[in-house]
Structure formats: structure tokens, C-alpha cells
Structure 1
Amino acid sequence: MDKFIAIVGTNSDNSTNRKLLQYMQKHYANQAEIELMEIKGLPMFNKPADKQVPAAVTDMAAKIEAADGVIISTPEYDHSAPAVLMNALEWLSFHIHPFVDKPVMIIGASYGSLGTSRAQAHLRQILDSPELRARIMPSSEFLLGHSLQAFDETGNLVDEQKTAKLDGLFADFETFVEITKRLKNAHAATAQEVRDLDWDNL
């Protein structure tokens, strides 16, 4: 059974993105082990001169490295991924590189009708950056709009079409993870390239 880390891409205590990941954790319990990862509480990234990464971040990196894949659920603020999520990714690419060749599935929930489409596109660009080098599952947007009305009192999705779409994408992600495990011929060279990046000149 695959082990996935599910990153809650917000610091809100009442986020429907957390609710969506909790639903997936329960709904796919027979297919994969999904552990939720919170990013709230991390210090603001400040490119420390001593190159010391907070212990909370190194713990996160270790879990990501050990996982078969990562699921990120992002809200959308001002047509972009939230600052708290970008802050976490900045820490997770500062002299530590857990995302190199790591399979990533991006999803998102929002109160409006667009369902974080722009934030997901923005997040894809960030994860594809030279400092992160994640493998993002292509053509796989899951956009949960009107998310305040999307769940019943037990935390399940109420829209059968949305449930079917998520089921299909999750199955595709499991396949994508298995394929990615075989795409390792350039991994050592890619990882070395990322390690060789000079943060002092970025």
C-alpha cells in the first residue's frame, strides 16, 4: 500500500481544503495510507546566513522523502497560491530537497465557482522550479468550487459527479506514482544539480 503525505496548503483552522484531504484520507483508506501535514506555525522564510533549517521543516522533509507521493490541496488568494504555502515550499527547497522527482497531485477547494484553477496553475510552476524539481501529475486538476456546501455532516462529498472525478484522478495518481518509480535514470544527476544550486546568488 502506498504512503502519501497530504499537505494542507493554508493556515486557516476551518479550511475546506483540510476537509477535502480528510475526506480523501478516509475515503481511500483501503487504497493508500494518507497522512495530513500542516504548514501553519512555520517561521517566515528569511534565507538564514547559517543555512540552518527549522527542525519542523526537516521533520516535514523527512516524511516527504519517505513517502511514495505528495498531495497538495491549495486555496486561492488573489488568483494565486497562498503565501503560507509558498513559505513552506521555500523552506523545503533551502539546502534540503525532498521534492526532487517526487510524484505530486494538486487539488484545491474554494468558496467560489472557479475552484482554485489559477492557484493550481501557479503551484505547478513553483513545484517545477529548479529548486524543487517535483514530478507533477499532468492534466489532473480537481477543482472543488462552492466548497462550503460541498460536504455533508459526516464530511463526505455530496456531489456524485465530483466524487467520481476524484476517484478517477486518485486512481490515476496511484498509476502515476508507479510509473514515476521507474523514471529514475536521471535522478542522481538531477539531485546533484539541485544540491549544486548556489542560494547566495539566487
Structure 2
Amino acid sequence: MAQHFEEKATIELLEINQLPVFNKPENYTVLPEVQELVDKIEAADGVVIATPEYDHSPTAALNNALAWLSYGVYPFVDKPVMVVGASYGTLGSSRAQLQLLQILEAPELQARTMPSSEFLLGNSLQAFDQDGNLVYEDKAEQLDGIFEDFLIFIEIIQQLPHSKEAMVKAAKNFNWENI
């Protein structure tokens, strides 16, 4: 996507493999590797999260990253997010995306996920050429349309600034143990 859409947007790939396993430390201070992700997410106009599907769910590494990114920091609150995914099988990460959308809309994250925009890439092992280009023309056209919609979605969300402060406050004060 970064290469395909380079004329329309700057897409930076963020790796999450450097994060330690989340353990909800009592005296929480933001880890440097988490703060780096927080800063980049906060600076971005929007975020695209790509998830593979393992056992019909997002990866443990992605769930771990989202746990760190919702514990004492709130970079996803009110942030436009587009979810895409791929899988080796024919379903193209449909179940993983559904779970991921639920996680992103949780009280601690409160991302603005783009509705009705699933991009499901099945048979991903055969889907790309040696240069990383998507070889399925119909899927490339679908992705183009969804990405154009995402750029408009970002503009729409930017016009809705009035609730962000309240949403951040709600995320900071949310505690599953006090429900």
C-alpha cells in the first residue's frame, strides 16, 4: 500500500515486534518503544492497520501492541482508522477484521473506524508479484476505491473536533474493574 499509494499519501510502516509482552505494570511509565508508536500515530492524519488472520483472529502481536497503546496513552482516540487484511485461505481475514474493529472501538481505544470498508485479500501467497504489487486486478481496484474513501473519511473526522477532549477523558477514566 505504501508503494501503491505513494502519490496520494505518505504511508509509514510501523513494526510492533519490538514490544515486550504486555503485563499491566503497576507503576506505569511509557516505554520508549511504545512512546515512539504513540508519537507517530498521534502525528498521523489516519492509520491503516493491516492484519493477517491466524485461527480466525488478529495476531497476538497486534493484540499486544493495542494493549500497550491503550494503557496510559490514548493515540487512537478519535483517530481515523482503516482496517485491511490478508490470509492464506479464501476468507481473507474477515473474522480477524471483525474482532479488530471491536477492539479498536473499545472504551480504552475509541478509534474512529471507517464503516463498510472491508478489504479482504484471500490466497495471499499468490496475490503479489516479486515487486510487491497486487496481481489481482479486481482486488487492486477495490483497494483503490476503499483508500479514496478513507482519505475522505479522514477529512470528515477532522471536521468533528468537538468530542475529542471528552473522549480522551473518558478513555483515561475507564476501568473495567469499576463497572
| Structure 1 position 92 matched with structure 2 position 31 | no
Quickly say closer, same or farther: Cα 1:68–1:142, change in 2 above 3 A. Answer: same
Give, in whole Å, the separation in 2 of the partners of 1:188 and 1:130: 14
2:81 counterpart (95, 101, 104): 104
Which amino acid in the other structure matches residue 48 of structure 2? I
Tell me by how many angstroms 1:178 deviates. Answer: 0.3
| Structure 1 position 31 matched with structure 2 position 8 | yes
Give, in whole Å, the separation in 1 of the partners of 2:136 and 2:167: 41
Which amino acid in the other structure matches residue 156 of structure 2? I
Structure 2 gaps of 5+ residues are none
Structure 1 gaps of 5+ residues are 1-23
SS of the residue aligned with 1:161?
A: helix
Give, in whole Å, the separation in 1 of the partners of 2:30 and 2:18: 14
2:24 corresponds to: 47
TM-score with structure 1 length normalisation? 0.86
Quickly say closer, same or farther: Cα 1:58–1:51, change in 2 above 3 A. Answer: same
2:41 corresponds to: 64
Task: Provide the identity percentage.
Answer: 57
Give, in whole Å, the separation in 2 of the partners of 1:81 and 1:128: 15
| Structure 1 position 160 matched with structure 2 position 118 | no
Q: Which has the larger share of strand?
A: 1
Task: Name the count of aligned residue pairs.
Answer: 179
2:60 counterpart (55, 70, 83): 83
Give, in whole Å, the separation in 2 of the partners of 1:190 and 1:144: 33
Which amino acid in the other structure matches residue 127 of structure 1? L
2:95 counterpart (100, 105, 118): 118
TM-score with structure 2 length normalisation? 0.96
Aligned residues: CA RMSD: 1.3
Tell me by how many angstroms 1:72 deviates. Answer: 0.4
SS of the residue aligned with 2:14?
A: strand
Quickly say closer, same or farther: Cα 1:200–1:49, change in 2 above 3 A. Answer: farther
